[in-house]
Chains A and B, each alone.
Chain A
Amino acid sequence: MTSPEQLTGAVAVGIAELREEFDTTDVVATGDGGARVTVARAPLPPSLTLSHTWVGFVIPYNYDEVQVYGHFVPADLLYVDGRTLMGPGLQAGQTWEERPAIKISRNSPRWHAGLDSAASKLIQVLQWLGERQ
């Protein structure tokens, strides 16, 4: 169990926003003020077979000056047309908390601290996943 004292103020705020937006969120402090976060039930776009999934990512200690980058989803996630998650920005053969995973790499080169957040980034990532051909 991670207590808020183990997180920087900005990371704690980022996690509170995630908890407001998504069902359940597990948090493990990384020891430097950041956190490893697993959102247990993130809603997926209709182009994917599941309606919800877990998503894991790291919020670094210097969030929110620094983006959240690298989101992990289950390795067996599929599109409704049977396609697997492959292609630019997707890296198979990963693990998250010992579960087989695919890593989604979506960079935010113009990240704005105070405006962008871990929650808004997660929504953008899921949206991108749904819209990619």
Chain B
Amino acid sequence: MTLDMRMTSFQRQHLLEHLFCGDGEEHGAVLACGIARTDHGVRLLVRQTFLAVDGVDFVASEHAHRALSARFVAETSDYCQEHGYAWLSVHNHGPGDSVGFSDPDRRSHRRLYPSLEQYIGQPVGALVFADRAAAGEVRLDGRVKPLRCVTIVGDRIEHMYPHQPSSLTRTSTCYDRQVLLFGARGQEILRDMKVVVVGGGGAGSIVCLQLARLGVGELVVIDPDRVSVSNLSRIPGASRLDALARLASSSWPIARRVAARFARPKVRVIGREARRANPTGIYRGIFGDVMSSEVARELASADFIFCATDTMASRMLVNVVAHQYLVPAIQLGTKVPVSRDGEVGIIHLAVRPITVEAGCLDCAGVISQRLLHNESLRPEERQRHRYIDDPDVPEPSVITLNMEVAGRAVTDFLFMVCGLHHRDTSMLHEMYEPRERELTPTRFQADPMCSCCSTCEHSRFALGDGRVLPTRW
């Protein structure tokens, strides 16, 4: 059971500018954190930062060099108790890539935190920062646990540890060529990640195989569909036997129904290929709907999510999880409009990173409330609402377009987690129009009242388990 913390790159910058303001002194703050408990462990998600004013909130102490004032502790702990947040004090030591608590720090934790935990009813603890390192201790369910790392979620995904982790001296020879780009440490980062891919269709299946080949340690794929004959042109590794093609193409309706009912689930086909690509990785295929509450829980413990579906509801859910649990994500898809008379319109391949820095799908205007409502109705309700004037005609889907968009999305993921983008590279949403060979970045304003990415009171931002996900029962 691990204990981690997540904060946005904006929050880290805000905090470190306060702690390392250039005077060489210690400074203090308090973090109010949402909490996410999963099978993998506990994550503390920074919701709000309270900076302690020197000489007022952060004062000389008889037990330590300086400490948070009693009034500041009382005010911030009241706030956390009222909202159900974990409470963590923060101070800094000198700059460097290694940091730890001093003996006076630990004595003060032992004195203060048991009663504070009892009062707040949530985890209570402390962090100490160097400019490139962070260490923490948290009282959780009455026991003190060390914080494994602080993950910074932004255009880059970074980790702050108490000490720089020593890298593997050797990686598997099958990774020799890619390690030349991102190093053994990059390979380790990929090995330690849990990546969830929502949607195992044309684009999602290719994303999965690329992630498996890269050496991602734990890959989870969620899809409710079985392989059909029409999928064989674009799901790598899918066979006619998987689709029960002979039955599916029979003129006998019962045979076609049997094929539709017993063809292999897409997640199993992807699993077979992923295990071939990475025999040491963990693969889990979930043959189900991400909109069910049990399946959606998988997203909360992910380190990264790909959304490769064509439904508004799953797009909305991934956007919610990305902000509520601070899990970086990328939404990807192709749009190939064809008119009734067969004329091909403007083709769009979209890659949309979802982080607080990159932006939220809702603010970007790519979540249609009207379609979302229509999709959310049960079939009989849809019938009653007469949403039948737009029949379910499949759009074109071509493996080359799927590979293009999947490759762009996985490259963005790889560069985000391995720190390969240039420092000033922004993770803007991108639209690629293959007929014009034109790549267009999309800019949009974040909505200050957004219920996902803003920090206003009604927002889900960093609440973790503190807000129920919008899923079906």
Contact = CB atoms under 8 A, between A and B. Distances in A.
Contacts of A115: 449, 451, 458
B316 A65 contact: yes
Contacts of A58: 377, 381, 385
A11 to B, nearest CB: 10
A101 B214 CA distance: 57
A67 B378 contact: no
B19 interface: no
20 contacts: A10-B468, A10-B470, A30-B381, A36-B381, A58-B377, A58-B385, A61-B376, A61-B471, A61-B473, A62-B316, A66-B373, A66-B376, A67-B369, A69-B374, A70-B385, A91-B386, A103-B385, A108-B369, A111-B369, A114-B458
A113 B370 CA distance: 14
Contact of B451 (A67, A94, A112): A112
Nearest to A36: B381
Contacts of A91: 386
A72 B460 CA distance: 31
Interface of A: 8-10, 30-34, 36, 58, 60-63, 65-70, 91, 94-95, 103, 107-115
A95 B457 CA distance: 39
A52 to B, nearest CB: 24
A63 B381 CA distance: 16
A65 B458 CA distance: 12
B34 to A, nearest CB: 15
B473 A32 contact: yes
A85 to B, nearest CB: 16
B447 A110 contact: yes
A66 B458 contact: no
A95 to B, nearest CB: 7
B373 A109 contact: no
A25 to B, nearest CB: 18
Contacts of B374: 69
Interface residues of B, number: 31
A117 to B, nearest CB: 11
A32 B378 contact: yes
A109 B472 contact: no
Given A31-B378, A113-B458, A115-B449, A9 B468 contact: yes
A69 B370 contact: yes
B376 A112 contact: no
Contact of A30 (B373, B378, B386, B457): B378
B376 A60 contact: yes
Contacts of B472: 32-33, 61-62
B364 interface: no
A40 B313 CA distance: 30
Contacts of A61: 376, 470-473
Given A60-B376, A61-B472, A109-B369, A66 B451 contact: no
B368 interface: yes
B451 A113 contact: yes
A69 B369 contact: yes
Report, nearest first, the 4 A-B pairs whose CB atoms are least far apart. A114-B458, A60-B376, A113-B451, A62-B470
Contact of A114 (B317, B377, B459): B459
A9 to B, nearest CB: 6
A27 B471 CA distance: 20
Contacts of B386: 91, 94, 103
B234 to A, nearest CB: 30
A114 B463 CA distance: 14
Interface in B407-435: none
Nearest to A115: B458
Contact of A112 (B317, B385, B450, B471): B450
Contacts of A69: 369-370, 373-374
B354 to A, nearest CB: 15
B327 interface: no
B369 to A, nearest CB: 5
